[in-house]
Structure 1
Amino acid sequence: MTIIQNHTDIQKPIAEVYTFLADLNNHEQLMPDNIYNWSSTVDEARFTIKNMAKLALKISQRIDNKEVVCIPVEEAPFEITLRWTVEKKDENLTTATFIIEAQLNMMMKMMASGPLQKLADHQVNALKRILG
């Protein structure tokens, strides 16, 4: 199992950060420029990654003010779980962590680790920019 992650501190109460992350409609704002054909509901999102693949994700688990977990709805190129965790530092400071867990063979790991790390970095930075 390959685990890729990044985190940031956000000057907002944990409930506000969690509420944003718990709605997949908000995740389009976190995506890099190579994502298009986005459609979403609160629980599911479908999109295309330029020159790669189409993906459909759904929220498989929500733990209030703790965690949001997304998994593929349809066949994905490899087994993957996207997990956002939030941790209260104080009343107006929350640490948000984005974790990508992927089942990659050695060849896929060499090809996908860089782009997956860039995705994690981009989403964390976008969350910080949006929620500030």
Structure 2
Amino acid sequence: MKVNTNKVRLSKSQKDAFDFLLNMQNYEQLMPADTKSFEIHESGKGFTVGVGALPKVGMRLKETNKPSQIVFESPAPAFDYTLTINIEAVDENNSDVELDFNGNFNMMIEMMAKGPLTSFIQTISDNLAKI
């Protein structure tokens, strides 16, 4: 299952956008309005969020390619997914950010999760555009 957002423009340099998105505390303000819980992992390299009807979703920092990419992965071995954040410099004060979610789920889970996950990823992107 793939969910890709359109690029959103941030009024931040590529480096500042990368630093902002590498700070897990900043994700709380990007979450949907119906967020029930948001917890940063003890390591500081990931978070778990409970949103609407979705079960809690975890994101663990997998790798970074400074200043252009941040990759999160599932912290649970039972679920195989990644969220890749691509950051492209536009000029010294602006950057474009795109989110790409890629999950390998069985057909039943994909059918149930596609709508809510698509909405979740798109809301993060929409809220990022407001920063």
Q: Deviations over 1:106-130 (max 9, x none)?
A: 3333322222221121111101102
Deviation at 1:88, TM superposition (A): 0.8
Q: Which residue of 1 aligns with 2:56?
A: 54
Deviation at 1:49, TM superposition (A): 3.1
Gaps of 5+ in 1: none
Q: Which residue of 2 aligns with 1:65?
A: 67
Gaps of 5+ in 2: none
Q: Confirm or deny: 8 A CA contact 2:3 2:121 kept in the other structure.
A: yes
Q: Which residue of 1 aligns with 2:21?
A: 21
Instruction: Normalising by structure 2, report the TM-score.
Output: 0.85
Q: Which residue of 2 aligns with 1:5?
A: 4
Aligned residue identity for 2:26 = N
Q: Deviations over 1:85-107 (max 9, x none)?
A: 10112222211011110113333
Q: Deviations over 1:51-97 (max 9, x none)?
A: 33223321011111111111122345x31111111011222221101
Q: Confirm or deny: 8 A CA contact 1:55 1:74 kept in the other structure.
A: no
Aligned residue identity for 1:73 = P
DSSP-derived class of the 1:33 partner: coil
DSSP-derived class of the 2:130 partner: helix
Matched residue count: 128
Q: Which residue of 2 aligns with 1:98?
A: 99
DSSP-derived class of the 2:72 partner: strand
Aligned residue identity for 1:17 = A
Q: Which residue of 1 aligns with 2:108?
A: 107
How far, CA to CA, are the matches of 2:123 and 2:51 in structure 1?
Answer: 14
